[in-house]
Amino acid sequence: MAHQKSAHYDRVVRKQYREWLDRCSVHLDRMDSELPPPVEDFRDVLKERGVSRRSFLKWTSIMTGTLMLPPVFKPMVARAAEQFSRVPVVWLHMAECTGCSEALLRTSYPNIDDILLDTISLEYHETLMAASGYQAEQCLEKALHDFPGKFVCVVEGAIPLAMGGRYLTLGPKGKTGLEVAREVTSKAAMTICIGSCSAFGNVQAAKPNPTDAAGVGRALGLQTVNIAGCPPNPINFVGTILHYLMFGGLPALDGLGRPVWAYGKRIHDYCERRPHYDAGEFVEEWGDDGAGKGWCLYKVGCKGPYTFANCGRVRFNDGISWPIMAGHGCIGCTEPNFWDTMAPLEKPIQDAAIGGGEATVDRIAMGLTVATVAGIAAHAGATAWVHRNDNDTANKE
């Protein structure tokens, strides 16, 4: 009986995968015919960079797993990667430090530095493009004119709302960041917020927030894909574009607009120091014996139990390390208002109202998980599988 049930389950899953693969293949064909031609053939680019076929296949396996797709999707991920540099991107800078662009240019998933530069410098990216002043303005106007509803808008940085947005003016005509963001996002196929500043306001919105800085979603009343982090992990940006190429529309998002495949689990759930947490082995102060032994960093302020992100799984700098591996606790940089809510960064949260200390960790985390799951349920139905061409309101419900 159990065997029959499991065979039935296998059949259902296989059928579902086949349907999704077909859908994916049709969408990739469609993107192939709609996207502008590549500046250079992707395979030639890989060859020039010394990336072997074997390394590329290894990367597709890693990326497929990162996107939480089954291995049968590897050829689809490879096809999407081939289309990656053809996606027109308009990259806006609001109030921020450009650390997100910096983080992205350091990525090797894939070695996209030049691919992005080739693409973005053709469209618009204030800090990377050669043009400036009126010339830059013309590049932006041209991109909006040439790719209406077809480009991806990436926003870096928060949008100041106080004084009608005049705390941030851009370009030779002195438009406010709010005006520019509103105009560009209204013409985009989808808007990706890169970093916690554009996602939630972050540093600029920290108390007392005199400029009333806000994330793009709140500032414009827009559904955005929030690649949270300060800076975010580049692989989560790459994965979002690949997802867009494979399926169209937005990925399943949590209640805070973050892709579930990247932000569905807590830092605490994947942490290599977790066995020490469970065994009650904590670093009590910097440089003590426990620090040398790699014990849990909770008592020196790690906010991993309250933070949702895949940092421990995908790591940074070519997968070499991540904050907790390097010896400092997570500061919660993928969560809204973390500068205020996670402070002090090197001490545990001591909130009398919730009991304080590690005794409350799992209770708080459980609450966050419930909120996130509720968000996923609300969004998955509303946003999955929507393409702007099918439905103009795709990104604005």
Handedness of CA 236, 383, 179, 389 (dihedral sign): positive
- Computed on alpha carbons and rounded to an integer, the radius of gyration of the chain in Å comes to 22
How near is the Cβ of 196 to ligand FSX at its closest, in Å?
5
Indicate whether 196 belongs to the interface with ligand FSX (CB under 6 A).
yes
Both structure tokens of 101 = 């662009």
DSSP 130-168: S--HHHHHHHHHHHHHHSTTTSEEEEESBEE-GGGGTT-
Per CB under 6 A, does 300 bind ligand F3S? no
Using the minimum distance from each CB to ligand FSX, give the nearer residue, 107 or 196: 196
Of 203, 297, 365, 394, the one binding ligand SF4 by CB under 6 A: 297
Binding segment (CB under 6 A) for ligand FSX, from list 36-44, 91-99, 109-117, 252-260: 91-99
User: Which residue of 82, 126, 137, 156 would you call a contact of ligand FSX, by CB under 6 A?
Assistant: 156
Figure out which of the listed residues 330, 349, 361, 365 binds ligand F3S, where binding follows CB under 6 A. 330
CA 322 – CA 328 distance, rounded (Å): 9
Let me know: does 365 contact 359? Beta carbons within 8 Å. Answer: no
Applying CB under 6 A, the span of 16-24, 94-102, 180-188, 380-388 interacting with ligand FSX comes to 94-102
Q: What angle do helix axes 53-66 and 234-247 make, rounded to 10 degrees?
A: 90
Q: Under the criterion CB under 6 A, does residue 230 sit at the interface with ligand FSX? A: yes
CA dist 181 → 216, 387, 393 (Å):
8, 21, 17
Q: Binding ligand SF4 by CB under 6 A: which of 277, 308, 322, 338?
A: 277
CA distance 224 to 373: 18
Of 45 and 311, the one with the shorter C-beta distance to ligand FSX is 311
CB closer to ligand SF4 out of 243 and 276: 276
Contact predicate 66/235, CB 8 Å: yes
CB 148 within 8 A of CB 179: no
Nearer Cβ to ligand F3S (175/313) = 313
Contacting residue, 203, 296, 311, 386, with ligand SF4 by CB under 6 A: 296
Nearer to ligand SF4 by C-beta: 84 or 277? 277
Would you tell me which residues interact with ligand FSX (CB under 6 A)?
96-100, 156-157, 195-197, 202-203, 230-231
